Chains A and B, each alone.
Chain A
Amino acid sequence: MSSILVKNEARLGLKLVAPAVGIIGLLVIYPILFNVYLSFFDVQLNGSKTFVGLDNYTDLLGNPRYYHSIGVSVIYLIGTVVGTTVLGLAASILMNQEFRFRNLARGLILLPYFAPVISVVFGWQFIFDPVNGIYNHVVVDVLHLTDTRENLIGNPDSALFVVILFDIWKHFPIAYLLFLAKLQSVPKDLYEAAAIDGQNAWGRFWHVTLPELRFVIATVVLLRIIWNLNRFEDVYLLAPNVETLPIFTYYQAFAGIVDQGGAAAISVIQLLVLVGLIWLYVRKVLKW
């Protein structure tokens, strides 16, 4: 494109985003700044604040529960990001093949993504219910894999994996959708050229599909990291005993000994980490 056109478009772009920037400024920037401000105070429920300097931060960094929740969050992030990406990729490749009822199947795959969290969470809790759940019924009564009925959601260690599984199930369709859209635009003759060049199906996937999907995969991974670093409702509703960072923050801020200043300190650190991650990612991985 000629540079005049680029400039014109940039100017139009600025005009178009200006109102949004204003609103975002109010709704996002202000709370962030207020949050940073709060993190230097001891905040009482009645609203009175005392300046405590870096106390909130030092307290936090001396709190083993904080490190535990970081560990949980890291496992949760790796599990869900890898899981949704791989499952989404597999589903999109499958749905890109020709077969009967393909359009129906393509639609059905999206269902978990559209279903309201609150209703599917109850479904999942029921599946893993120690007394009446299907999971225990199948594992213990049908397959006889073990004798003891497990409360998978009750135990925080196993609940973490249920929560990861739930997130993969619920969110792989968005990855699938993005991958499928891109797959459909990969020129067919690239596959043909690769076949002529001696590549079998696996080689064609490796040398054509993956490189073509590179940016979409990177985008999906980035989005999933951002979403899931902050993910609250899915985890809290399904298994509130899984203490990822957002859950830990919530307990800090609103449960037991209410400590909004401490919670603010957590979110400030989390924000910094997130911004750093995104910066690194955009510069090094996406090379945009």
Chain B
Amino acid sequence: MSSVILRNVNKSYGNLPIVKNLNLEVKDGEFVVLVGPSGCGKSTTLRMVAGLEDITQGDIQIGQRAINDLPPHKRNIAMVFQNYALYPHMSVRENIVFGLKKSGADAETIKQKLADVSEMLKLDDYLDRKPADLSGGQRQRVAMGRALARDADVYLFDEPLSNLDAKLRHHMRSEIARIQHQYNMTAIYVTHDQIEAMTLGDRVVVMRDGIVEQVGTPMDIYLQPTNTFVATFIGSPAMNLFEATIDGDDLVFDQYRIPASKIANVDLHDLGSHDTVLVGIRPDFFEDSALSSPSDNLFEFNDIQVDLVENLGFDKEIMFKLGGEDAKARLDLRSHVKRQEHISLSVDLNRVLLFDTSPQGMLINAGEV
């Protein structure tokens, strides 16, 4: 295993910059997830680490080796492709041991690895089949097996679960997490699915348009997103943002006045330099006031009209209007709100985030998580 370091990495196609000045250090044994909307340059970044795309500018290092000019077959990496890329003329067994054999492993090691991997991924019954005779989920497991059988410095995953149905995706997600911990692999995992990112990553890298917006643990990113893009991209349903004007020490929208002094990490003096701010509240942080125990730091939005209730089992999602926007809250199953009812929602002000109204929408009340 090895660390991976990307220093000021740039990639352009012609004059079109795709990845812009990317810096990232993946520690030995760390699982880092690159997440971002489609087309933001995640695959391109991963493929530069693999050597499948050349680096326009900057350096990539694996362990102590600078690998910029090393072709992929000399980098000692393993990779799982989105479309699996299994060798169609080889059996599952041959697919799995192909890279291992090439690396010069002896027959005993190969046999042992094959047995380990095929047991772990439940491939024992399919070893003699060709990829064409496997289902999508089975192919995905073979692709995983081919990578895991290798003794690579770094393991790269490019949206390996995106072609699976929801149930299988969930199952494989847990499998990957388990295997990664078991082998203490250094891994870079690309996905556009924020749930995969949050559940798998030791650290998560949020990208947009070739730029890294934030790097941090899943909790960092959830609780302290650096800007409105990260805030709304991570978390489902997305964070609600309300534009509020600043009146003295209060944030005002609709008929509500929120005392800024009770919001965590707010510098009132600094706040005074803004005319308006965006107030960010995650749907999960709303509570049905009828159920919340009164506390000093709770703010109550009263007289909220419920437009829609969706029962999701344990939670229910409600939609309503706030600050002129469609807003969502996720309430737990004890709440008995009904459509068209008027209710009160409370929010712990420690959980409220403020962003400036610049195009980047930077977090104003950054602090300890």
Contacts and interface: CB of A to CB of B under 8 A. Distances in A.
Contact of A200 (B71, B79, B146, B150): B71
Nearest to B75: A196
Given A196-B77, A198-B102, A203-B102, A189 B85 contact: yes
B87 A193 contact: yes
B71 A195 contact: yes
B87 A190 contact: yes
B44 to A, nearest CB: 13
A64 interface: no
B87 A196 contact: no
A214 interface: yes
Contacts of A212: 88-89
A271 to B, nearest CB: 35
A216 to B, nearest CB: 13
Contacts of B78: 196
Q: Pick the 5 closest A-B CB pairs, nearest first.
A: A197-B99, A189-B85, A198-B102, A193-B85, A195-B72
17 contacts: A187-B85, A189-B81, A189-B83, A193-B85, A193-B86, A194-B87, A195-B52, A195-B71, A196-B72, A196-B73, A197-B102, A197-B150, A198-B102, A200-B71, A200-B73, A208-B87, A212-B88
A199 interface: yes
Contacts of A193: 79, 81, 85-87, 146
A197 B86 CA distance: 11
A195 B87 contact: no
Interface in B86-130: 86-89, 98-99, 102-103
Most buried by B among A194, A197, A211: A197
Nearest to B156: A196
A200 B51 CA distance: 13
A199 B102 contact: yes
B15 to A, nearest CB: 19
Contacts of A197: 73, 98-99, 102, 146, 150
Contacts of A192: 50, 52, 72, 79, 81, 85
B119 to A, nearest CB: 22
Contact of A198 (B73, B83, B87, B88): B73
A195 B86 CA distance: 13
Interface in B40-89: 50-52, 71-73, 76-79, 81, 83, 85-89
A48 to B, nearest CB: 60
A94 to B, nearest CB: 20
Nearest to A192: B52
Given A197-B150, A211-B88, 6 more contacts: A192-B52, A195-B52, A196-B77, A197-B73, A198-B102, A208-B87
Interface residues of A, number: 18
A207 interface: yes
Contacts of A200: 71, 73
Interface of B: 50-52, 71-73, 76-79, 81, 83, 85-89, 98-99, 102-103, 146, 150
Interface of A: 187, 189-190, 192-200, 203, 207-208, 211-212, 214
A198 B103 contact: yes
A122 to B, nearest CB: 46
Contacts of B81: 189, 192-193
B102 A211 contact: no
Nearest to B83: A189
A190 B84 CA distance: 9
B71 A207 contact: no
A258 B366 CA distance: 105
Contacts of B86: 193
Contacts of A199: 73, 102
Given A187-B85, A211-B87, A214-B89, A196 B99 contact: yes
A150 B336 CA distance: 105
Contacts of B98: 197, 207
A203 to B, nearest CB: 7
A187 B84 CA distance: 11
A135 B50 CA distance: 51
A196 B79 contact: yes
Nearest to A193: B85
A193 B85 CA distance: 6
Contact of B51 (A195, A203, A208): A195
B162 to A, nearest CB: 14
A190 B85 contact: yes
A197 B143 CA distance: 12
Contacts of B85: 187, 189-190, 192-193
Nearest to A197: B99
Contacts of B146: 193, 197
Most buried by A among B73, B99, B102: B73
A195 to B, nearest CB: 4
A285 to B, nearest CB: 15
B154 to A, nearest CB: 11
A198 B71 CA distance: 10
Contacts of B88: 190, 211-212
A195 B103 CA distance: 12
Nearest to A208: B87
Given A189-B83, A203-B102, A195 B73 contact: yes
A207 B73 contact: no
Contacts of B77: 196
Most buried by B among A192, A200, A207: A192
A193 B90 CA distance: 13
A190 B99 CA distance: 13
Contacts of A198: 73, 76, 99, 102-103
A198 B153 CA distance: 13
A194 to B, nearest CB: 8
A58 to B, nearest CB: 49
Contacts of A195: 51-52, 71-73
A200 B71 CA distance: 9
Contacts of B102: 197-199, 203
Nearest to A214: B89
